[in-house]
Amino acid sequence: MAWVASGCLPRCSPAGERGRLGRRQRCRTACPSMDYAPREPLRQGGPGRPGGPGDAGGAGRGRCAPPGLAAWSGAPPRQHNEWGHRSRGRCVAGAGRSGPRVRAGGWWQAGGRSWAQHRLGGLRWTLPEQVLVQAQLGTATAAGSGLVQGMGVRGRPVPRDWHSCRDPAVPSRCPQHVVDLRSDTVTQPSEAMRRAMAQAAVGDDDYGEDPTVNELQHLAARFLGMEEALFVPTATMANLIAVMCHCQRRGAQLLLGAGAHLHVYEHGGAAQVAGVHSQALPDLPDGTFDLEQLELAVREAHGSRYHPRPELICLENTHSSAGGRVLPLAYLQQVHRLAERYGLRVHMDGARLMNAAVAQAVEPAQITQHCDSVSLCFSKGLGAPAGAVLAGRRAFVAEAWRVRKLLGGGMRQAGVLAAAARVGLEQAEATLRRDHSNARRFARGIQELKSPLCSVSLPAVETNMVMVAVTGGWPSPAELCTYMRAVSEEELAETGHAVSVLLFPWSAHTLRAVWHRDVSAHDTELALNKLGFVARKCQERLALGLGPGPPSAAGH
């Protein structure tokens, strides 16, 4: 925008024009049509400088105070402090809250901001405000939950109507509601998790002395039907540890599907770190691979002096690239028998294993009985902030501990993370059952739309994922995701809602939606209504012979 991009005044200008006053004048001159908030006097003081009682810091040096903060009006002029510097007022949401400073002259203060918040302009980042700014700027810039009328990122003035999304009676292009369906990794810890984390008994897990971690490992091993389990930071690390423990000879080979997460989305760790060659087999639509091709690949390399030695087969359950499909129990049994016949081991990437167990209405141990090791992620559908486990036989887990240490995955007081993971594991069945139901409701709604723009295969929706096929040349999946994210006054007038729906453009012809604990049945209906609105507007543009463009521009 012109008022942001305007540069400094020429050096030949007087110093006053190049200073703060000059910047204010340039802002008004560059964009005179912008509606700026009126200026009010600033209160004395700010973070890092002594101020009066109740000073809670501010958003930017010398910025104007936002309207409506009565505590800031009528403030005395700036004074020089004991160091000979002027106190500079700073304004953020929450200004006027009293609280003692922890350290005089420092960035840290009770009820105020940390050093990091100061460097970010005093703005806390939350998803709804991220989407608000993204919808207006079309960028990844984010503003914080403390955003107030008249102040923007780094305290710069912004149009007043940016903030009218807080008032449902005011038409606005700002989202009043955000439905985030990009992944089940975007969940926020529940209140039960936060309480468990705050109250967790902890110790040094590197010495095996963290009781909460030990309890979680015993619980996970029992859930998965394995002898022991090891808590690790991520499922990606769990998979890499499994590969390194199973494939310890040079020239080892790993067989897995071409679309497997371990093969595509884990930065080639099996090759980069473990030195293991991966043989990728074509995936079938249900997430399996052809057993005849698997046996042919094993037999061809078995005993050969020219091929890498196959030592491990990796399965992914549920299979994310296949849209959350569940691997059949009979298929798992066949793979395990083939592996035993040729002396191979089977590892299951079970990041979403609990989804598979809920979908098949079986205990997780019934699935993992056909595997030598299994990983389980806590930060996806289970909703914990971090953590995973790797489970297997006792000797395998003992070796996994050594590899975890090698990779830097050993943690100290990890019980604060394990406590949240345990809550997620104990509540998994009810949570995931609801997620699966909402995903099927969304898929059925797309079928009922009967839109030529998009379609879905209802039998393929087995868990919490919906892969939406986008047909025609326009809009593309990426463009459709952009239209679903943006909001317009026309949408608010026609539907009564200003909803921003976040989806993931999976491929050139497909987008993905993933349900999780933070998406309710009401959110699902809002997302479906938004898709119907966008599809209808796109069809109107095509019917009028208009080219690609924002769907809200149809008929204009």
Q: Closest Cα to residue 55, out of 78, 84, 83?
A: 78
Which segments of 203-328 does DSSP mark as H helices, in order? 211-224, 235-246, 261-264, 269-272, 291-301
pLDDT of residue 34: 44
pLDDT of residue 164: 34
pLDDT of residue 285: 94
- Range list of β-strands (E), 284-338: 309-316
Say whether 64 sits in a helix, a strand or coil. coil
pLDDT of residue 473: 80
pLDDT tens track for 369-383: 999 999 999 999 999
pLDDT tens track for 255-289: 999 999 999 999 999 999 999 999 999 999 999 99
pLDDT of residue 174: 60
pLDDT of residue 551: 62
Q: Which residues lie across from 277 on neighbouring strands?
A: 253
**At a CB cut-off of 8 Å and minimum separation 6, what does 202 contact?**
210, 211, 212, 413, 414, 415, 416
**At a CB cut-off of 8 Å and minimum separation 6, what does 523 contact?**
177, 179, 438
pLDDT of residue 495: 86
pLDDT of residue 207: 93
**Distance from C-alpha of 438 to C-alpha of 441, rounded to nearest angstrom:** 5
**Distance from C-alpha of 27 to C-alpha of 6, rounded to nearest angstrom:** 8
From first to last of its 556 residues, what are the pLDDT tens digits of the chain?
Answer: 333 333 444 444 444 444 544 444 544 444 444 444 444 444 444 444 444 444 444 444 444 444 433 333 444 454 545 444 444 444 444 444 444 443 433 333 334 444 334 443 443 434 444 444 344 434 333 333 333 333 333 333 333 333 333 333 334 456 679 999 999 999 999 999 999 999 999 999 999 999 999 999 999 999 999 999 999 999 999 999 999 999 999 999 999 999 999 999 999 999 999 999 999 999 999 999 999 999 999 999 887 888 999 999 999 999 999 999 999 999 999 999 999 999 999 999 999 999 999 999 999 999 999 999 999 999 999 999 999 999 999 999 999 999 999 999 999 999 999 999 999 999 999 999 999 999 999 999 999 999 999 999 999 999 999 999 998 888 999 999 999 999 988 888 888 889 999 999 999 999 999 999 999 999 999 999 999 999 999 988 888 877 666 665 443 3
DSSP string, 507-522: SSSEEEEE--TT--HH
Say whether 452 sits in a helix, a strand or coil. coil
**At a CB cut-off of 8 Å and minimum separation 6, what does 219 contact?**
422, 425
Domains, the chain, in order of start with CATH, read 1-34 (no CATH), 191-426 (3.40.640.10), 430-553 (3.90.1150.10)
pLDDT of residue 264: 94
> Could you tell me if 59 and 123 are in contact, meaning their C-beta atoms sit under 8 angstroms apart?
yes
Q: Closest Cα to residue 415, out of 190, 192, 201?
A: 201
